[in-house]
């Protein structure tokens, strides 16, 4: 099995800590190693040195090499433009599928927290085993929900299509995008829904065949790239074809429409570090529900997330339910319930005279 850590996103909901020139996956959000380094560390027990790859944007290659110096150039898949996960997955499949015919790919994120990495690796191996008998399936790792969550997508489980070492494999009945609170509660109560972690396992050729059927405009350009793989023209072919692919997520373009999609139910201590409030899922708060990083003094302060730089005091008096993130050039303050809207700040700054300064 080949492993691809997708590290090309820009993490706008973690602004102003996450910036376009150094997104969240290159920061140590939990612990002292970056999220990318942790994503690699957790699969080393099952991934040989030649099986590990990182897919990232051309502007982040130097950061990848700095944080993963053991990774050779041939194991960094460079996306010459930001085109979302649809083209990124297509590129990893065409490159690895051509270099390693018949290979299985685990396509994994770089911005998740997984508290039980051994169990996570075991489930990846279960998916690999099932694919030997059912190569036509696309596998997603579905996380057993611990609470109603409106910020995640959900997977509805269908019939059991196989059992491996006592582990049921469910055919996916449907995908549901971020629901409201009432619907999210009904999903959790039913026991028949999983959080969509956006981590996948599939045969490279199976994914390419499905892309050909569902997104032919991507497939045609992938075929032109395939003809150059391993030659001196490979890089120039990617740079020519990739930016012209439609900007679309692999979920919307392929996985939600494909006929044969299966899910494994994972109890792995998972959290998507996608917003400032998500850090409360993985880091210890104080007795008042506060999560402080840096020099923060709270007086009569409750349920506050505050991040500040070393050498600068953040003093909070009689405040609650806030996110406060202070960096040398930007300050964010918002209610915790509005943490998902932080991306709107980045969108507002794009195209303005301040774009180069603050994003």
Q: Tell me which residue of 172, 321, 193 sits closest to 254, measured CA to CA.
A: 172
CA distance 58 to 75: 14
pLDDT of residue 23: 94
pLDDT of residue 293: 93
Q: Is the same domain home to 235 and 94? A: yes
Q: Is the same domain home to 231 and 102? A: yes
Last residue of a domain, one of 237, 253, 274: 274
- Whether residue 357 has pLDDT greater than 80: no
Q: Is the same domain home to 219 and 304? A: no
Judged by DSSP in three states, 285 sits in: coil
Pairing of strands 261-266, 167-176: antiparallel
pLDDT of residue 321: 97
pLDDT, one tens digit per residue, over 272-327 is 898 998 898 889 999 999 999 999 999 999 999 999 998 999 999 999 999 999 99
What the block records as the tokens of 13 is: 């909901």
pLDDT of residue 225: 98
What's the CA dihedral at 33, 39, 40, 44 to 10 degrees?
A: 110
Confidence of residue 257 (pLDDT cuts 50, 70, 90): very high
Q: Is the same domain home to 7 and 136? A: yes
Maximum separation of any 2 CA atoms in the chain, in Å: 65
Q: Is the same domain home to 281 and 163? A: no
pLDDT, one tens digit per residue, over 10-43 is 889 999 999 989 999 999 988 889 999 999 999 9
CA distance 262 to 276: 31
Q: Tell me which residue of 143, 174, 137, 145 sits closest to 265, measured CA to CA.
A: 143
pLDDT of residue 165: 82
Q: Is the same domain home to 205 and 69? A: yes
CATH number at residue 226: 3.90.550.10
- Whether residue 181 has pLDDT greater than 80: yes
Q: Is the same domain home to 122 and 192? A: yes
Q: Is the same domain home to 151 and 190? A: yes
pLDDT of residue 29: 87
pLDDT of residue 353: 73
Q: How many domains does the chain have?
A: 2
Q: Is the same domain home to 127 and 228? A: yes
Q: Using CA of residue 131, residue 136, residue 141, residue 145, what is the dihedral sign?
A: negative
Which residue range(s) make up the domain with 325?
277-358
pLDDT of residue 358: 81
Confidence of residue 132 (pLDDT cuts 50, 70, 90): very high
Q: Using CA of residue 179, residue 142, residue 146, residue 339, what is the dihedral sign?
A: negative
Burial of 333 (0-12, 13-18, 19+ CB in 10 A): exposed
Q: How would you write 210-231 as a 3-class SS string?
A: HHHHHCHHHHHHHHHHHCCCCC
pLDDT of residue 151: 83
First-to-last C-alpha distance (Å) of the chain: 37
Angle at 267 between CA 262 and CA 273, to 5 degrees: 95
Q: Is the same domain home to 311 and 267? A: no
pLDDT of residue 168: 95
pLDDT, one tens digit per residue, over 69-86 is 999 999 999 999 999 999
Last residue of a domain, one of 274, 291, 306: 274
pLDDT of residue 164: 87
For residues 170-198, average pLDDT: 94
pLDDT, one tens digit per residue, over 259-269 is 999 999 999 99
pLDDT, one tens digit per residue, over 210-221 is 999 999 999 999
The residue length of the chain stands at 359
User: Strand runs (DSSP E) across 76-182, as ranges?
Assistant: 76-79, 104-109, 112-114, 138-143, 154-164, 167-176
What the block records as the tokens of 170 is: 């469910």
pLDDT of residue 326: 97
| In the chain, % of residues over pLDDT 70 | 100
**With contact defined as beta carbons under 8 Å apart, do 40 and 64 qualify?**
no
* Mean of per-residue pLDDT scores for the chain: 94
Q: Is the same domain home to 188 and 90? A: yes
What the block records as the tokens of 277 is: 């409030």
Q: Is the same domain home to 182 and 320? A: no
């Amino acid at each position: 099995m080949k492993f691809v850590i997708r590290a090309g996103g820009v993490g706008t909901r973690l602004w102003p800590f996450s910036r376009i020139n150094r997104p969240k996956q290159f920061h140590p959000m939990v612990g002292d190693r970056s999220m990318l380094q942790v994503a690699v560390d957790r699969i080393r027990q099952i991934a040989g040195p030649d099986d590990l790859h990182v897919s990232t944007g051309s502007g982040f290659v130097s950061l990848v090499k700095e944080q993963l110096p053991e990774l050779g150039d041939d194991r960094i898949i460079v996306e010459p433009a930001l085109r979302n996960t649809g083209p990124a997955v297509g590129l990893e499949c065409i490159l690895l599928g051509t270099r390693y015919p018949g290979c299985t790919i685990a396509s994994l994120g770089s911005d998740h927290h997984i508290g039980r990495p051994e169990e996570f690796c075991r489930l990846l191996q279960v998916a690999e085993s099932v694919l030997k008998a059912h190569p036509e399936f696309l596998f997603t790792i579905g996380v057993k929900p611990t609470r109603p969550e409106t910020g995640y997508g959900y997977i509805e489980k269908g019939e059991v299509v196989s059992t491996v070492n006592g582990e049921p494999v469910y055919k996916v009945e449907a995908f549901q995008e971020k629901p409201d609170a009432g619907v999210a509660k009904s999903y959790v109560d039913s026991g028949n829904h999983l959080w969509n972690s956006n981590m996948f396992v599939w045969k490279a050729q199976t994914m390419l065949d499905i892309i050909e059927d569902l997104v032919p405009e991507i497939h045609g350009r992938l075929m032109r790239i395939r003809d150059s793989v391993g030659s001196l023209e490979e890089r120039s072919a990617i740079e020519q074809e990739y930016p012209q692919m439609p900007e679309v997520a692999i979920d919307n373009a392929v996985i939600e429409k494909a006929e044969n999609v299966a899910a494994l139910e994972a109890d792995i201590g998972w959290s998507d570090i996608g917003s400032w409030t998500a850090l409360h899922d993985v880091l210890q708060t104080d007795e008042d529900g506060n999560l402080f990083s840096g020099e923060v003094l709270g007086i009569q302060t409750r349920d506050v997330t505050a991040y500040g730089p070393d050498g600068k005091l953040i003093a909070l008096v009689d405040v609650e339910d806030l996110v406060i993130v202070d960096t040398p050039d930007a300050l964010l303050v918002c209610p915790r319930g509005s943490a998902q809207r932080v991306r709107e700040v980045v969108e507002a700054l794009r195209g303005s005279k301040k774009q180069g300064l603050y994003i």
